[in-house]
Amino acid sequence: MILFLTLVLLFLMITIGGERGAVSIMALAGNIIILFFSVILMSAGFPALLLILAAGAGVCYNSLFYQNGNNVKTRAAFLATLFVMLILFIPIFAITWRTGSYGLNELQISEDFMYYYNTDISINMLHVAVFVSVFSTLGAVIDTALSVTSSVYEVWTHKNSLVEKELTSTGYQVGKEIIGTTVNTLLFAYLGGSILLFSYVQTQKYSLEIILNSRFLFQDVAIMLFGAIACLVAVPVSIKCIIWQIRHINPDKKQLNA
């Protein structure tokens, strides 16, 4: 069934997307390969924190440049995504460590699991949790960054008399338009898949205090909130990056500062 659904996806991407759809398939395959080797390297003991930066940069480069080409918009989006990753890396690490929300949660640690599976895997679960949190936000950040940089650049190409303040206002207007749908997408992506889990918790009659302080709830909600915060931060960072890129192609730099 998985193979069937995969074939349906590939067929629709090529039929509807045409050549661009085929390129997207290749980019998707490249990202899967990057994640696959990241898991292997992490299992082999390679520092997970370095993998976050290396694999994150690889996914960004593949998603942006391979699909959309090397241009002003993709370069600005690439820089913005890397900056957002670096900005949020320390808060994500600190919050994950401080809350102790890494590793298996209460529902995953059961007698059956402990009996059938070996939990001594010699991997720093804190680093793995940070890796998961960062990569869970990466796709949404790339989409947000590219949407903002593309919009600001297209506005400038059609009216290059606009000054930096006006371009910044345009970028924020675009950010306001897309951020609502992005946050809703993240909400349904992470919490929608947990409906069965919440139904199980409800049938077990756990108290509200236990649920609110549980690790399994915090893990899902934290990833959703990290993603929403990352997308919000990506808006001003993307605006700054695209304006910086425009300065390098604008023959009259003083005009942009007017």
> How many angstroms separate the Cα of 186 from the Cα of each of 5, 34, 86, 118?
23, 23, 21, 32
3-state percent helix, strand, coil for the chain, nearest multiple of 5: 85, 0, 15
Mean pLDDT of the chain: 78
Q: Which residues of the chain have pLDDT under 70?
A: 100-122, 191-194, 196-198, 200-202, 204-216, 250-258
pLDDT reported for residue 212:
65
Identify whether the C-beta of residue 235 lies closer than 8 Å to the C-beta of residue 172. yes
Q: What is the pLDDT of residues 74-84, one digit of tens each?
A: 999 999 999 99
Q: How far apart are CA 59 and CA 34, in angstroms?
A: 7
Say how far apart CA 82 and CA 151 lie, in whole Å: 19
pLDDT of residue 78: 92
Taking only the tens place, the pLDDT of each residue in 119-172 is 555 677 777 778 888 888 888 888 889 889 988 888 888 887 778 888 888 888
Q: Which among 89, 88, 96 has a CA at the least distance from the CA of 229?
A: 88
Q: What is the pLDDT of residue 254?
A: 46
Q: Is pTM, for the whole model, over 0.85?
A: no
Give the residue carrying structure tokens 């919440």.
Answer: 198
